[in-house]
């Protein structure tokens, strides 16, 4: 049995990183087809092993997760941005922060956020006009960032703050796109890219500091929790929980900021992208859009959908699941073995990087019939049982699964339902969009869509 997995030959210094940077999605698909379930890659700075068999993914994320930690494959810039927030922290720090944050994402509290979500969606629609073209990615990011700030911080963004956040997200995204030269240029070097990145971090941290300053002294006021859920007399929004921990000496100023920055960015970006790709797919598949409208008419009639209604919006949920299959906002996860492990018949050395790619697995013909086809009904119960469980993992899995999964799904169903009840969105370009990799998977071009009022 071979002890070293096969993989593509690289070039001196850069290994495979230039091929990966050119098109990470095509590269990962191609090497999987050529080399199988375990592929050795030289992406720098760590030796990387791509795993695409659901059985191996289950071991890394669930049954043997204690053998793995978060990988250091991400460069220093993400540490500057998110620090020891939930996304990057590990070990006891991560467990402590996860336990602290969990009540803010309890099922009871999440279900109480339906009115908050619906109000923000309606405010978004109040700015739309029949026949105009809007960049739907920017529109979805605008509404989801406002929702996450009110839902988790008990605060509301002004128009100016929302615009500043959106203005400074682009330099952040560019900083995390695959780029071989970046590995040899230190973060402190005064390049144009580094200057723009650090300025964006400064602006976002300033907005977070303003929110914290506004909220200090209210962390024991149950009226500040927009979900209307309190534990006794204490509000259970995330910022209130963190401020109380800070007051007990359990959170430093830096830790508080790291958690809020993580929630601000991770808590809205992935949902906004899932919605963006959903609108594109519905525009390209009018029969699916018609079924969405029929379901809304049947469940809601002329009334806006509510959190209670989302339990009956089965087809919309399948549409969202299929959208996240074809276009997973998080397209790869990384872990690092704490000790030598054997996966797929190969030895994976301690300290290397293990990459688990949703993009590759979700589009594999081994697990999906006609994998490139948009087919929401593949998520009917009788069909989904035909596939391995970990042939689909848009929210990760195991102890480190996305803490906001249930909030994201409630939010997405209410946004799709509220928008689709009033409008049809038509993608305006004749050709498909290109993708670019960053921390998440973004469209390369603006996602312009014409807004058409839905006829009765």
Q: What is the mean pLDDT of residues 268-293?
A: 97
pLDDT for 28-43, tens place per residue? Answer: 999 999 999 999 999 8
Predicted model pTM: 0.93
4 domain residue, yes or no: no
pLDDT surpasses 70 at 303: yes
Given this model, what pLDDT does residue 194 score?
76
Residue pair 240/192 in contact (Cβ under 8 Å)? The answer is: no
How many domains is the chain partitioned into structurally? Answer: 1
pLDDT surpasses 70 at 260: yes
| Residue 447, helix vs strand vs coil | coil
CATH number at residue 340: 1.10.630.10
DSSP one-letter string for 400-429 = GS-TTHHHHHHHHHHHHHHHHHHEEEEE--
Given this model, what pLDDT does residue 188 score?
58
266 domain residue, yes or no: yes
Residue pair 19/27 in contact (Cβ under 8 Å)? The answer is: yes
pLDDT surpasses 60 at 192: yes
At a CB cut-off of 8 Å and minimum separation 6, what does 431 contact?
none
Given this model, what pLDDT does residue 173 score?
65
Q: What is the mean pLDDT of residues 375-392?
A: 95
12 domain residue, yes or no: no
10 domain residue, yes or no: no
The Cα 340–Cα 207 span in angstroms is: 43
pLDDT for 21-77, tens place per residue? Answer: 889 999 999 999 999 999 999 987 778 999 999 999 999 999 999 999 987 655 555
359 domain residue, yes or no: yes
pLDDT for 93-117, tens place per residue? Answer: 889 999 999 999 999 999 999 999 9
Q: What is the mean pLDDT of residues 109-132?
A: 96
Q: How confident is the model at residue 167 (pLDDT cuts 50, 70, 90)?
A: confident
Please give the residue range of the domain that contains residue 110: 17-453
3 domain residue, yes or no: no
Q: What is the mean pLDDT of residues 246-261?
A: 91
Query: Which of 198-202, 377-381, 448-452 shows the lowest per-residue confidence on average (mean pLDDT)?
Result: 198-202
Q: How confident is the model at residue 241 (pLDDT cuts 50, 70, 90)?
A: very high
Q: What is the mean pLDDT of residues 83-88?
A: 73
pLDDT surpasses 70 at 222: yes
11 domain residue, yes or no: no
Q: How confident is the model at residue 267 (pLDDT cuts 50, 70, 90)?
A: confident
Please indicate whether residue 173 or residue 321 has the higher confidence score (pLDDT): 321
Residue-averaged pLDDT of the chain: 90
At a CB cut-off of 8 Å and minimum separation 6, what does 311 contact?
none
pLDDT for 410-426, tens place per residue? Answer: 999 999 999 999 999 99
The Cα 263–Cα 153 span in angstroms is: 9
* Pairing state between β 353-356 and 47-51: parallel
7 domain residue, yes or no: no
Given this model, what pLDDT does residue 1 score?
44
pLDDT for 438-452, tens place per residue? Answer: 889 999 999 999 999
Asked whether the CA dihedral 155, 248, 404, 227 is positive or negative, the reply is negative
Which residue from 166, 225, 181, 146 is spatially nearest to 44, judged by alpha carbons? Answer: 181
């Amino acid at each position: 049995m071979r002890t070293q997995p096969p993989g593509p030959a690289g070039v001196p210094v850069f290994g495979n990183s230039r091929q990966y940077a050119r098109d990470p999605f095509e590269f990962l698909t191609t090497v999987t087809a050529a080399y199988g379930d375990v592929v050795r890659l030289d992406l720098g700075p760590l030796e990387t092993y791509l795993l695409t068999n659901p059985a191996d993914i289950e071991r890394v994320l669930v049954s043997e997760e204690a053998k793995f930690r978060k990988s250091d494959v991400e460069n220093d810039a993400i540490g500057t941005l998110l620090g020891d927030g939930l996304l990057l922290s590990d070990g006891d720090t991560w467990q402590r922060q996860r336990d602290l944050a969990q009540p803010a994402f309890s099922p009871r509290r999440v279900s109480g956020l339906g009115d908050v979500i619906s109000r923000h969606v309606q405010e978004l629609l109040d700015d739309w006009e029949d026949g105009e073209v809007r960049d739907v990615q920017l529109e979805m990011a605008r509404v989801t960032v406002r929702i996450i700030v009110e839902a988790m911080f008990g605060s509301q963004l002004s128009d100016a703050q929302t615009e500043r956040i959106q203005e400074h997200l682009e330099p952040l995204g560019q900083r995390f796109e695959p780029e071989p030269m970046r590995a040899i240029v230190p973060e402190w070097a005064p390049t144009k890219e580094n200057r723009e990145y650090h300025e964006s971090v400064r602006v976002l941290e300033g907005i977070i500091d303003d929110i914290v300053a506004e909220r200090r002294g209210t962390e024991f006021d149950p009226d500040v929790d927009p979900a209307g859920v309190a534990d006794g007399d204490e509000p259970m929004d995330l910022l209130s929980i963190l401020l109380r921990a800070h007051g007990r000496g359990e959170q430093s100023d830096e830790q508080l900021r790291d958690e809020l920055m993580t929630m601000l960015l991770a808590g809205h970006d992935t949902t906004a992208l899932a919605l963006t790709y959903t609108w594109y797919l519905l525009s390209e598949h009018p029969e699916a859009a018609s079924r969405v409208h029929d379901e809304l008419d049947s469940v809601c009639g002329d009334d806006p959908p509510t959190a209670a209604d989302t339990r009956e919006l089965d087809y919309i949920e399948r549409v969202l699941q299929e959208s996240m299959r074809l276009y997973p906002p998080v397209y790869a996860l990384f872990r690092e073995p704490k000790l030598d492990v054997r996966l797929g018949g190969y030895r994976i050395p301690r300290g290397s990087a293990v990459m688990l790619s949703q993009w590759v697995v979700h589009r594999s013909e081994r697990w999906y019939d006609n994998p490139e086809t948009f087919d929401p009904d593949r998520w009917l119960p009788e069909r989904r049982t035909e596939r391995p469980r970990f042939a689909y993992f848009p929210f990760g899995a195991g102890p480190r699964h996305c803490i906001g999964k249930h909030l994201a799904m409630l939010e997405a169903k209410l946004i799709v339902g509220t928008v689709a009840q009033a409008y049809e969105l038509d993608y305006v370009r004749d050709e498909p969009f290109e993708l670019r990799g960053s921390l998440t998977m973004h469209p390369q071009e603006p996602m312009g869509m014409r807004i058409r009022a839905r006829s009765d």
